[in-house]
Amino acid sequence: MANYKKNRPERRPSHPGAILKRMWLDELGYTQSEFADALVSASPKKIKKSTMQTKLNELINGKRAMSAEFAVLIGRVLKTSPRMWMNLQASFDIWEAEEKVGAA
């Protein structure tokens, strides 16, 4: 194990919420309110639009982690894989954990 070389990125990975905003919402011309409407429509549960807007805003501002359920909803609306969103979150979380613990 002593010879194991870690390929850790030097910079902090982007939060999935930042990627959602920059690469999807901004590019497609969605407002957060419009995207929240689309998420509510994609949800099988009765979720208030205000609740969805709050979750979306917190995600975009990096105050909330991407949950599996939210990844599925976003995937439905944007026709993307929920795994992509969860992988982005996992990369972010691992980088943050290595910072706290001290990367080797």
Question: Can you tell me the distance from the alpha carbon of 63 to that of 31, in angstroms, rounded to the nearest whole number?
Answer: 19
Structure tokens belonging to residue 94: 């691992």
One CATH from 1.10.3720.10, 2.60.410.10, 1.10.260.40, 1.10.540.10 for 16-101: 1.10.260.40
Closest by alpha carbon to 88, among 8, 16, 12? 16
Structure tokens belonging to residue 49: 């639009």
Residue position matching structure tokens 């990125």: 9
**Domain edges within the chain:** 16-101
pTM of the full predicted structure?
0.85
- Helices within 13-81 (DSSP H only): 16-19, 26-28, 32-42, 49-60, 68-78
Per-residue pLDDT of the chain (104 residues; tens, 9 = 90+): 454 446 666 789 999 999 999 999 999 999 999 999 999 999 998 899 999 999 999 999 999 999 999 999 999 999 999 999 999 999 999 999 998 998 65
